């Protein structure tokens, strides 16, 4: 069963690598003359129902990025502490202190993770709708992965999925390969846009 759960993200990542190159145009240096193939086109940030070029929603994207960082800091801190306890040759007393600190921070800070992440979803959708880019589809892939991650987390936290699927959903939500893929897709997608 454990092998099957690990195979699904690997298959998803391989599919992304195979198909992702088809949708990502190559960047052209800024000193080359503009043509149909140039990455930064005049109206790529325009919104269909507004007549103005709206790059001002970068603020919404930055707000969402910073809030995602704050909301997921307790998880990153917990993973770091567990990693230090496993890998580093620390004394028993220091390991115990780190474990106690980890329990304390999870008890008091995980509420930020549970409730701020779903609230961020609205800001992310607002950012996407108001500043879509026509030059690449990577931000849409990132949005899809982010929504999937958030959905899995909500299903786990509020026990909305059947008990039989709860363990699989939890493993999917905590899968590091999918998280790394999400970060790469968002980073590369936004780098191409800028």
Residue of 11, 154, 106, 128 lying closest to 60 (CA atoms): 128
Query: Predicted confidence band at 51 (pLDDT cuts at 50, 70, 90)?
Result: very low
Residue 168, token pair as written in the block:
């699989």
pLDDT the model gives residue 41: 46
Q: Is the pLDDT of residue 27 over 50?
A: no
Contacts of 157 (CB under 8 A, 6+ apart): 114
The pLDDT > 90 percentage for the chain reads 37
Q: Which residues of 19-30 are buried (b: 16+ CB within 10 A; e: fewer)?
A: ebeeeeeeeeee
Residue with tokens 């919404």: 60
Domain ranges of the chain: 55-131, 134-194
CA distance 122 to 144: 14
What are phi and psi for residue 86, nearest 5 degrees? -80, -45
Q: Summarize pLDDT for 55-93 with one digit per residue, the tens.
A: 547 888 889 989 999 999 999 999 999 999 999 888 899
């Amino acid at each position: 069963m454990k092998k099957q759960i690990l195979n699904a993200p690997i298959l998803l990542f391989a599919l992304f690598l195979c198909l992702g190159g088809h949708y990502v145009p190559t960047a052209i240096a800024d000193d080359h003359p503009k043509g149909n193939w140039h990455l930064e086109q005049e109206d790529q940030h325009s919104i269909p129902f507004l007549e103005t070029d709206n790059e001002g929603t970068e603020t919404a994207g930055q707000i969402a990025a910073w809030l995602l960082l704050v909301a997921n800091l307790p998880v990153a801190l917990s993973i770091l502490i567990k990693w230090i306890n496993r890998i580093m040759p620390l004394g028993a007393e220091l390991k115990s202190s780190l474990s106690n600190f980890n329990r304390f921070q999870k008890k008091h800070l995980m509420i930020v993770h549970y409730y701020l992440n779903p609230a961020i979803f609205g800001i992310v959708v607002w950012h996407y709708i108001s500043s879509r880019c026509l030059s690449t589809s990577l931000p849409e892939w990132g949005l899809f992965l982010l929504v999937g991650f958030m959905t899995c987390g909500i299903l786990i936290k509020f026990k909305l999925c059947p008990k039989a699927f709860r363990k699989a959903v939890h493993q999917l939500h905590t899968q590091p390969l999918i998280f790394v893929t999400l970060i790469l897709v968002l980073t590369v997608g936004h780098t191409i846009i800028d």
